[in-house]
Chains A and B, each alone.
Chain A
Amino acid sequence: MAQSSHEPNLNADLKQTYDAVIVGSGAAGGMAAHVLTSHGLKVLLLEAGKKLPIEKELKSMQWPYDHPRRGKMPADDHALTLNEYTVRPRPYAQGMRYRHVFSYVQGWSGSDYSKNIVVDEKDHPYTGTDYAWVRARLLGGKTAIWGRLALRLSDYDFKAASRDGFGEDWPISYKDIEPYYDRVDTYLGISGLKEGLPQLPDSLFQRPNRLTKSEIMLRASLEKNGRLLTPYRAGVTTDGLKHNKYRSKCFGRGACTRRIGGCDIHAAFDSPTGLIYPAMDTGNLTLRTNATVYEVTVDKNSGQASGVSFIDTDTGQTYHAKGRAVILGASTLETARLLLLSKSPQHPGGLGNSSGHVGHNFCEHLMGPSVTGIVKDMIGKPHTLDDGRPGGFYLPRFRNLASKNPNFLRGYGFEGEGGMRMFPGHALSTPGYGKDFKKQVRDYAGAFISMGGFGEVLPRYENYVEIDPDRKDRWGIPVLRFHIAFGDNEKKMAQDMGDQAQEMFENAGIQVIGVDRKLLTPGWSIHELGTSRMGNDPKKSVVNQFQQCHDVKNLLVVDGSTHVSASCQNPTWTIMALAWRSCDNLADQLRKGEI
């Protein structure tokens, strides 16, 4: 791999006015940096976190026995548990004796490989209703550990309101975004199998990941019932990318599925190697890390965005950066927070908030319903290499397409996997001990198959975040207060997800050993969306179809906060396709002097 010489510049020139100042270096901000610099524009990219030596953090191939704690983080660090998200007072880390407190995503006893990637809850408090908020403040944001499932949305999503009467349509249709999905596929690489589904359009795929025997069997059974199981559509380059020297093709090591995520050869997309380093190579990008933006400033006369104020997270010193345009890609909820914090005489309710919709219309993917079963034919068979891939399978949405479900709107899909893994988790629930126990653990190791659902949470005005009037973070910046709860539609959908999951497994002859119908804490999917939605009507939306604020033309919001509805399909690829489209439009407007 090419050694990167892409160090951030902590002394970035702040006297000049950049063509654009971007806030956030994840999928959204990284894409904005790529597109705008490729148009020859001079761009300043601000990231709140540090640049980590990520390959050293991830150590993708390290065996458990070569780690002093078998991969677990130090005992005086703590990862929040599901129970704690419900019972602990807010902020969650308040009063905990641990040295650091991390979000649940750290998994079983906490992972030593990602503890520096997610934020310390002690520094980053929030209040309000139950919410599992996973944040990654580092160069690349959550793309450093994302789940890699890269799906397109369709007009079942963009025109969902017209179909079922709930909420608003998106101001775009599939044909508007399709060319940009194509560009994202080609530039970043995606693996998958063409299936020709209208609700889940195909991408321009590189070679697919493969299925295990039990998954092939489940697919065959589903096909008889008009449903489908397809290899995980992964935002991973399986054939390599000739135009990107920072990324290797995928060698099926499976490190990304055994851990929280992350890829030290960058076959899985991450924003730094996929977007930011190439953008820096154009000579048009200045990268400033450790820069937490706390306000988008406006021109006193025009009310247009003039730049951003930020605080250096190490020194506490504050700075101002100037731009002809300001682009927010701080992540859904951080972007809403920043807009609400940016109050001025021209924008008393927060920037871009004349509609009163900033922070509202939150949506996401519900999680919890799942099924686990045993494929009897696989018991006692020789163990095969089953987990050398960026994901198992995806079972696309089948609800509320041709026919209408009487109990709930919209749909859900499942992610799952069958076969052998490095650690036999079933040992912990296998009764007994001794030789028989040991043999049973061994015999059953390749026989398990499971899947968990991701369901569309309806965007409702009543689900919102606001600025907490009292609480501040470590840097003195007011924090978010949550007002988010699942509604009747989500509860009924979850019931159906569990029922259908069980039925599909049973129809395939899989012995079901566990079904869950309970909803996990809001936020669990890490697919937070909405809070600055797109639309044609400035009274009901925050940005237009090119993600420009209705109120402030030179302010773009390019992250998931602009999504009008959640779909049930994972958002990252759509975030990047939209950002590409919007930044093309912005570059055009800047060139024409319209901004």
Chain B
Amino acid sequence: MAAELGRRDLIKLAAAAVAVKPGRAAGKPEFFTPQEYALVDDLSEMVIPADEKSGGAKAARVVDYIDHNLAEAFEQEERDHFREGLRVFLDTPAAERPALLARAASNEKQPHRPEERFFRLLKQYTIQGYYTSKIGIHDDMEYKGNVYQTGDYAGYLPGDKTGHDA
């Protein structure tokens, strides 16, 4: 019975579901050229890198999420905007890209230049892709929900000690 399933079982089931799902092999882009794909992979990792807590955007295959989204996007404009900004990075030597990214990010509230608009799109996609991935949800955020609570519900009732000041 579904109600008896714990979180661990559900994750196992989910993993099994993913394992048998037909799909393209990782590294085979639907939209990006191979160079674009490799670069977006690197740039997404710069937005959300691996750290002592969890893997980063690369490990979470954020590039595949972005690639699939752009391949599917309803408006050609969305693809064009992304590619236009990406070109600025492609045309910049690898060693200078971190500095370019920093400049592009410095105006993220009101982006004007192609690389600034690109940064905003890249960041938005990376956030959406990363924090909906297994690594993002379970390893990094250590999200505790989406489980059957078979006993008392988590949390507090008025009058309970919350340990808030502990």
Residues of A within 8 A of B (CB): 61, 63-66, 68-71, 74-76, 78, 98, 193, 207-213, 216-217, 219, 231, 238, 248, 251-255, 258, 265, 377, 382-389, 420-424, 427-428, 431-435, 437-439, 441-442, 445
Contact B51 A435 (CB under 8 A): yes
| Bound Cα distance from A160 to B29, whole angstroms | 63
| Bound Cα distance from A556 to B158, whole angstroms | 43
Contact B49 A383 (CB under 8 A): no
Which of the residues A216, A255, A265 comes within 8 Å of B160, measured between beta carbons? A216
A to B CB contacts below 8 Å, 18 in the list: A63-B134, A69-B68, A71-B132, A75-B73, A207-B153, A208-B157, A209-B155, A213-B164, A377-B165, A383-B141, A385-B149, A386-B145, A386-B154, A422-B141, A424-B131, A431-B108, A438-B48, A445-B141
Contact B154 A384 (CB under 8 A): yes
List B contacts of A441 (CB < 8 A): 131
**B68-90 vs A: 1/0 string, CB under 8 Å?**
11001110000000000000000
| Bound Cα distance from A535 to B57, whole angstroms | 62
List B contacts of A385 (CB < 8 A): 144-145, 147, 149, 154-155
17 further A-B contacts with Cβ under 8 Å, apart from A70-B65, A212-B155, A437-B48, are: A64-B137, A69-B72, A70-B129, A75-B74, A76-B74, A78-B74, A216-B164, A238-B153, A251-B148, A258-B146, A422-B146, A427-B127, A428-B124, A431-B109, A433-B48, A434-B47, A442-B141
| Bound Cα distance from A98 to B78, whole angstroms | 15
Contact A433 B47 (CB under 8 A): yes
Contact B132 A70 (CB under 8 A): yes
Also in contact, A423 and B144, with CB within 8 A (given A210-B157, A251-B3, A253-B149): no
Contact B144 A61 (CB under 8 A): no
List A contacts of B48 (CB < 8 A): 433, 437-438
| Bound Cα distance from A74 to B74, whole angstroms | 9
Q: Does B36 contact A (CB under 8 A)?
A: no
List B contacts of A207 (CB < 8 A): 153
| Bound Cα distance from A140 to B154, whole angstroms | 30
Q: Does B110 contact A (CB under 8 A)?
A: no
List B contacts of A258 (CB < 8 A): 145-146
Q: Does B33 contact A (CB under 8 A)?
A: no
Q: Does B142 contact A (CB under 8 A)?
A: yes
Contact A265 B2 (CB under 8 A): yes
Which of the residues A193, A388, A427 comes within 8 Å of B153, measured between beta carbons? A388
Q: Does B26 contact A (CB under 8 A)?
A: no
Also in contact, A252 and B158, with CB within 8 A (given A64-B132, A217-B164): no
List B contacts of A422 (CB < 8 A): 137, 141, 143, 145-146
Contact A65 B74 (CB under 8 A): no
8 closest cross-chain pairs (CB), A and B: A210-B155, A64-B132, A252-B149, A385-B144, A385-B154, A251-B148, A70-B132, A75-B72
Also in contact, A211 and B155, with CB within 8 A (given A64-B137, A431-B108, A442-B53): yes
Contact B162 A61 (CB under 8 A): no
What's the tally of chain B residues with a CB closer than 8 Å to chain A?
55
Q: Does B92 contact A (CB under 8 A)?
A: no
Contact B18 A66 (CB under 8 A): yes
Contact A388 B149 (CB under 8 A): yes
List B contacts of A445 (CB < 8 A): 141
| Bound Cα distance from A254 to B91, whole angstroms | 47
Contact B156 A216 (CB under 8 A): yes
Tell me, rounded to whole Å, the shortest Cβ–Cβ distance linking A282 to chain B: 28
Q: Does B14 contact A (CB under 8 A)?
A: yes
List A contacts of B154 (CB < 8 A): 210, 252, 384-386, 388
Q: Does B123 contact A (CB under 8 A)?
A: yes
Interface of A is mostly: loop
**B90-128 vs A: 1/0 string, CB under 8 Å?**
000000000001000100110000000000000110011
Contact B18 A65 (CB under 8 A): yes
List A contacts of B124 (CB < 8 A): 428
Q: Which of A61, A75, A388, A433 has most chain B Cβ within 10 Å? A: A433
Q: Does B39 contact A (CB under 8 A)?
A: no
Q: Does B25 contact A (CB under 8 A)?
A: no
Also in contact, A265 and B17, with CB within 8 A (given A385-B144, A437-B48): no
Q: Does B150 contact A (CB under 8 A)?
A: yes
Contact A377 B164 (CB under 8 A): yes
Tell me, rounded to whole Å, the shortest Cβ–Cβ distance linking A377 to chain B: 6
Q: Does B46 contact A (CB under 8 A)?
A: yes
Contact A387 B145 (CB under 8 A): yes
| Bound Cα distance from A146 to B142, whole angstroms | 29
List A contacts of B46 (CB < 8 A): 433-434
| Bound Cα distance from A453 to B106, whole angstroms | 35
| Bound Cα distance from A65 to B164, whole angstroms | 33
Contact A432 B132 (CB under 8 A): no
Interface residues of B in 19-60 (CB under 8 A from A): 46-49, 51, 53, 56
Also in contact, A388 and B147, with CB within 8 A (given A65-B132, A76-B74): yes
| Bound Cα distance from A9 to B108, whole angstroms | 57
Contact B156 A212 (CB under 8 A): yes
| Bound Cα distance from A463 to B14, whole angstroms | 50
Tell me, rounded to whole Å, the shortest Cβ–Cβ distance linking A60 to chain B: 9
Also in contact, A423 and B158, with CB within 8 A (given A252-B149, A383-B142): no
| Bound Cα distance from A427 to B68, whole angstroms | 22
Contact B144 A383 (CB under 8 A): yes
| Bound Cα distance from A438 to B50, whole angstroms | 9
List A contacts of B131 (CB < 8 A): 423-424, 427, 441
Q: Which of A251, A253, A383 has most chain B Cβ within 10 Å? A: A251
List B contacts of A231 (CB < 8 A): 157
Contact A423 B132 (CB under 8 A): yes
Residue of A with least CB distance to B56 = A438
List B contacts of A208 (CB < 8 A): 157
Tell me, rounded to whole Å, the shortest Cβ–Cβ distance linking A258 to chain B: 8
List B contacts of A217 (CB < 8 A): 162, 164
Which of the residues B14, B109, B143, B157 comes within 8 Å of A383, measured between beta carbons? B143
Contact B47 A193 (CB under 8 A): no
List A contacts of B56 (CB < 8 A): 438
List A contacts of B142 (CB < 8 A): 382-383
Residue of B with least CB distance to A214 = B164
List B contacts of A76 (CB < 8 A): 74
Residue of A with least CB distance to B123 = A433
Tell me, rounded to whole Å, the shortest Cβ–Cβ distance linking A233 to chain B: 14
| Bound Cα distance from A252 to B147, whole angstroms | 8
Tell me, rounded to whole Å, the shortest Cβ–Cβ distance linking A161 to chain B: 35
| Bound Cα distance from A63 to B7, whole angstroms | 11
Residue of A with least CB distance to B3 = A251
Tell me, rounded to whole Å, the shortest Cβ–Cβ distance linking B74 to chain A: 4
Residue of A with least CB distance to B98 = A434
List B contacts of A212 (CB < 8 A): 155-156
List A contacts of B17 (CB < 8 A): 66
